Amino acid sequence: MVAKQQFDKAELQKVMRQVHYIDSAITLVKPAPPSRPKNWQAYRALVVESIRINKGLQFWNQYAEALARAEADYGVPAEIIVAILGVETVYGKNTGNFRVLDVITTLAFAYPESPKRQERMAYFRGQVEQTLLLARENDMDPFSLLGSYAGAIGLPQFMPGSIRQFAVDHDAD
Protein backbone atom coordinates (compact mmCIF):
# COMPACT_ATOMS: atom_id res chain seq x y z
CA MET A 1 0.00 0.00 0.00
CA VAL A 2 2.90 2.34 0.74
CA ALA A 3 4.68 1.65 -2.56
CA LYS A 4 1.64 0.95 -4.73
CA GLN A 5 -0.79 3.61 -3.46
CA GLN A 6 1.56 6.11 -1.78
CA PHE A 7 0.11 5.69 1.70
CA ASP A 8 2.11 7.06 4.59
CA LYS A 9 3.55 4.00 6.34
CA ALA A 10 3.12 5.34 9.87
CA GLU A 11 -0.48 6.40 9.21
CA LEU A 12 -1.29 3.05 7.61
CA GLN A 13 0.21 1.18 10.56
CA LYS A 14 -1.81 3.37 12.93
CA VAL A 15 -5.01 2.47 11.06
CA MET A 16 -4.21 -1.23 10.93
CA ARG A 17 -3.50 -1.33 14.68
CA GLN A 18 -7.13 -0.24 15.19
CA VAL A 19 -8.56 -3.13 13.16
CA HIS A 20 -10.39 -5.77 15.19
CA TYR A 21 -10.68 -9.45 14.32
CA ILE A 22 -14.36 -10.28 13.89
CA ASP A 23 -15.02 -13.92 14.70
CA SER A 24 -18.67 -13.68 13.69
CA ALA A 25 -17.61 -12.67 10.15
CA ILE A 26 -15.78 -15.98 9.86
CA THR A 27 -18.81 -17.88 11.13
CA LEU A 28 -21.27 -16.05 8.88
CA VAL A 29 -19.23 -16.39 5.69
CA LYS A 30 -18.92 -20.17 6.00
CA PRO A 31 -21.07 -22.07 3.52
CA ALA A 32 -23.93 -24.17 4.77
CA PRO A 33 -22.92 -27.74 5.56
CA PRO A 34 -23.73 -30.37 2.91
CA SER A 35 -26.42 -31.70 5.24
CA ARG A 36 -28.31 -28.40 4.77
CA PRO A 37 -28.72 -27.99 1.00
CA LYS A 38 -29.86 -24.66 -0.40
CA ASN A 39 -33.61 -24.39 -0.57
CA TRP A 40 -35.18 -22.00 -3.07
CA GLN A 41 -38.62 -22.13 -1.42
CA ALA A 42 -37.19 -21.16 1.99
CA TYR A 43 -35.13 -18.33 0.46
CA ARG A 44 -38.07 -17.07 -1.60
CA ALA A 45 -40.27 -16.99 1.50
CA LEU A 46 -37.71 -14.71 3.16
CA VAL A 47 -37.41 -12.22 0.31
CA VAL A 48 -40.83 -12.26 -1.36
CA GLU A 49 -43.15 -11.28 1.44
CA SER A 50 -45.63 -8.51 2.18
CA ILE A 51 -43.27 -6.14 4.03
CA ARG A 52 -40.81 -6.06 1.11
CA ILE A 53 -43.59 -5.79 -1.45
CA ASN A 54 -45.28 -2.90 0.37
CA LYS A 55 -42.01 -1.09 1.06
CA GLY A 56 -41.00 -1.70 -2.55
CA LEU A 57 -44.13 -0.03 -3.90
CA GLN A 58 -43.65 2.85 -1.48
CA PHE A 59 -39.98 3.22 -2.52
CA TRP A 60 -40.82 3.02 -6.24
CA ASN A 61 -43.52 5.67 -5.91
CA GLN A 62 -41.30 7.95 -3.84
CA TYR A 63 -38.31 7.69 -6.20
CA ALA A 64 -40.10 7.12 -9.52
CA GLU A 65 -38.40 10.07 -11.20
CA ALA A 66 -34.88 9.08 -10.09
CA LEU A 67 -35.52 5.44 -11.03
CA ALA A 68 -36.71 6.49 -14.49
CA ARG A 69 -33.53 8.59 -14.95
CA ALA A 70 -31.35 5.69 -13.82
CA GLU A 71 -33.14 3.36 -16.22
CA ALA A 72 -32.69 5.81 -19.10
CA ASP A 73 -29.03 6.57 -18.26
CA TYR A 74 -27.81 3.06 -17.41
CA GLY A 75 -30.31 0.72 -19.06
CA VAL A 76 -31.22 -1.06 -15.84
CA PRO A 77 -34.98 -1.43 -15.51
CA ALA A 78 -36.49 0.27 -12.46
CA GLU A 79 -38.04 -3.00 -11.31
CA ILE A 80 -34.58 -4.62 -11.15
CA ILE A 81 -33.17 -1.73 -9.11
CA VAL A 82 -36.15 -1.82 -6.74
CA ALA A 83 -35.92 -5.61 -6.40
CA ILE A 84 -32.20 -5.55 -5.60
CA LEU A 85 -32.67 -2.88 -2.94
CA GLY A 86 -35.50 -4.89 -1.41
CA VAL A 87 -33.64 -8.19 -1.32
CA GLU A 88 -30.37 -6.69 -0.11
CA THR A 89 -31.50 -4.20 2.53
CA VAL A 90 -35.32 -3.99 2.69
CA TYR A 91 -34.99 -0.48 1.21
CA GLY A 92 -32.31 0.69 3.61
CA LYS A 93 -33.64 -0.90 6.79
CA ASN A 94 -30.81 -3.47 7.03
CA THR A 95 -27.52 -2.09 5.74
CA GLY A 96 -25.35 -3.82 8.31
CA ASN A 97 -23.66 -2.77 11.51
CA PHE A 98 -20.19 -4.21 11.09
CA ARG A 99 -17.21 -1.91 10.69
CA VAL A 100 -16.30 -2.69 7.09
CA LEU A 101 -12.54 -2.42 7.56
CA ASP A 102 -12.69 -4.90 10.46
CA VAL A 103 -14.63 -7.59 8.60
CA ILE A 104 -12.80 -7.36 5.29
CA THR A 105 -9.41 -7.40 7.02
CA THR A 106 -10.53 -10.42 9.03
CA LEU A 107 -11.61 -12.19 5.84
CA ALA A 108 -8.47 -11.09 3.99
CA PHE A 109 -6.19 -12.85 6.45
CA ALA A 110 -8.31 -15.50 8.20
CA TYR A 111 -10.89 -16.69 5.66
CA PRO A 112 -12.26 -20.09 6.73
CA GLU A 113 -11.01 -23.27 5.13
CA SER A 114 -12.68 -23.81 1.77
CA PRO A 115 -11.69 -24.90 -1.75
CA LYS A 116 -11.29 -21.26 -2.81
CA ARG A 117 -9.77 -19.92 0.40
CA GLN A 118 -6.68 -18.36 -1.19
CA GLU A 119 -8.76 -16.76 -3.94
CA ARG A 120 -11.23 -15.32 -1.42
CA MET A 121 -8.46 -13.96 0.82
CA ALA A 122 -6.87 -12.26 -2.21
CA TYR A 123 -10.26 -10.76 -3.07
CA PHE A 124 -10.72 -9.37 0.43
CA ARG A 125 -7.15 -8.00 0.50
CA GLY A 126 -8.14 -6.08 -2.63
CA GLN A 127 -11.23 -4.83 -0.81
CA VAL A 128 -9.08 -3.61 2.09
CA GLU A 129 -7.03 -1.64 -0.44
CA GLN A 130 -10.14 -0.25 -2.13
CA THR A 131 -11.72 0.70 1.20
CA LEU A 132 -8.63 2.61 2.29
CA LEU A 133 -8.51 4.37 -1.09
CA LEU A 134 -12.22 5.22 -0.92
CA ALA A 135 -11.75 6.66 2.57
CA ARG A 136 -8.68 8.66 1.53
CA GLU A 137 -10.29 10.01 -1.64
CA ASN A 138 -13.36 11.12 0.28
CA ASP A 139 -11.47 12.38 3.34
CA MET A 140 -13.34 10.04 5.67
CA ASP A 141 -12.48 7.84 8.60
CA PRO A 142 -12.21 4.30 7.16
CA PHE A 143 -13.81 2.98 10.35
CA SER A 144 -16.95 5.04 9.74
CA LEU A 145 -18.08 2.68 6.97
CA LEU A 146 -20.62 0.20 8.28
CA GLY A 147 -21.87 -2.76 6.31
CA SER A 148 -22.54 -6.46 6.15
CA TYR A 149 -20.51 -9.28 7.70
CA ALA A 150 -18.69 -9.52 4.35
CA GLY A 151 -18.08 -5.76 4.00
CA ALA A 152 -20.84 -4.80 1.57
CA ILE A 153 -22.09 -1.23 2.04
CA GLY A 154 -25.04 0.92 1.07
CA LEU A 155 -28.56 0.19 -0.13
CA PRO A 156 -27.53 -2.24 -2.88
CA GLN A 157 -24.77 -3.73 -0.67
CA PHE A 158 -21.91 -2.97 -3.05
CA MET A 159 -18.35 -3.79 -2.13
CA PRO A 160 -16.10 -0.72 -1.75
CA GLY A 161 -14.09 -1.66 -4.84
CA SER A 162 -17.18 -1.73 -7.05
CA ILE A 163 -18.27 1.69 -5.77
CA ARG A 164 -14.86 3.15 -6.55
CA GLN A 165 -14.81 1.53 -10.00
CA PHE A 166 -18.29 2.84 -10.80
CA ALA A 167 -17.14 6.35 -9.82
CA VAL A 168 -14.02 6.05 -12.00
CA ASP A 169 -15.98 4.68 -14.94
CA HIS A 170 -18.57 7.47 -14.77
CA ASP A 171 -16.33 10.38 -13.84
CA ALA A 172 -15.91 11.32 -17.50
CA ASP A 173 -19.68 11.20 -18.17
Q: Report which of 170, 167, 164 is spatially closest to residue 127, judged by C-alpha positions.
A: 164
Q: If DSSP codes are grouped into helix, strand and coil, which group holds residue 116?
A: coil
Give the separation between CA 144 and CA 157, rounded to whole angstroms.
Answer: 16
Give the separation between CA 170 and CA 162, rounded to whole angstroms.
Answer: 12
Active-site choice (71, 79, 88, 137)? 88
Give the separation between CA 66 and CA 157, rounded to whole angstroms.
Answer: 19
88 annotated active-site: yes
> Which residues are designated catalytic?
88
